[in-house]
Structure 1
Amino acid sequence: ACAPFRRLSLCNRNLVKMDTNNYSKAKHDLLAEVCLAAKFEGESIKTHYTPHEQTNRDTKSQLCTVLARSFADIGDIIRGKDLYLGNKKKMKKIEKKKKENKLKEYFEKIYNSLESSIKSQYDDEANNFFQLREDWWEANRKEVWKALTCDDDKKLRDASYFRATCIDRNERGQSQATKQCRCDKDK
């Protein structure tokens, strides 16, 4: 399987270059590196999407959808569910293994820094740390979404989804994510 175009810059930027030598910093460094990769990914998508939007005026809401798909890709990569296989010019198995090993190293460092009472929740004979990866993603996904939808250049100021995706401020019903593809309470 080939990676969608939206994945190329994400996987070739920070996720390969992460430093895993200092386990006490691993948890925070992982979040910083993933957020930085997400920010670059969001900027790349917004930049390439803008010319498409100019010729397809009725696609305003689709920018949020493209960002959401990229966000799902990031989550899959972090959780070890769907790793990018690598550039066609390089050996795919080596690229995949390199990224997989880098993430395993990060999660091993995080695992080793946990208290023993918590470690038992994440025991994994194969040292894939899938449950720890799931929990890390769940705890940090909001920050990654904020990084992906960072709007310093104001390209997302009017971006919204085509349907309701949020719980409204009063938590009584659904509302539409408007401005930066974010729910009102997350802006």
Structure 2
Amino acid sequence: MPEEQQLTGVVQKNIDALLEASERYEKHKTTTDRVADAITKWSGSMAFVYLHVVFFAVWIAANVTWFGLTQFDPFPFGMLTTIVSLEAIFLSTFVLVSQNRQAALSDRRADLDLHIDLLSEREITRILQVVDAMAKHLKVDLPPQEDLEELESDVSTEQILGELDRKHGQPAA
């Protein structure tokens, strides 16, 4: 088995920065956010499902007089239906609160990705320009590349977004 490689300083620094940003984000969550996350996490677990199966089975068994118990919610189980409906309303609200917050975090990450992509595009364009200038200065014969001039030109984010909007049939933002 090969020896485990150590991460480079830059990679480790990036990991640390991401973890620190995550921790800052977690620290700034409101109590409501924490409650919504906890409830969403619990309601998305198999333990939650099992608990409900047992609860429903006991409720129904108790109300169809299988065990000689006095009915407190006769068929069609109106009280159970009301309880389950209220639970569904609250659970869906908590899930939506969590999803909205996660969507905002996802948008923030997408903005960061786009920013890094744009920086990378600009850097690569500059590198191509420098390498092309060096090749010309050193009189290095390169095979003709039809797209080299295009690759060396700056990319206009506004033009790309406008073209994407046009192709999707949307008004320009």
More helix by share: 2
Structure of higher RCO (CA pairs closer than 8 Å, 6+ residues apart): 1
Identify the TM-score tier after normalising by the shorter chain: under 0.3
TM-score, with length taken from structure 2: 0.27
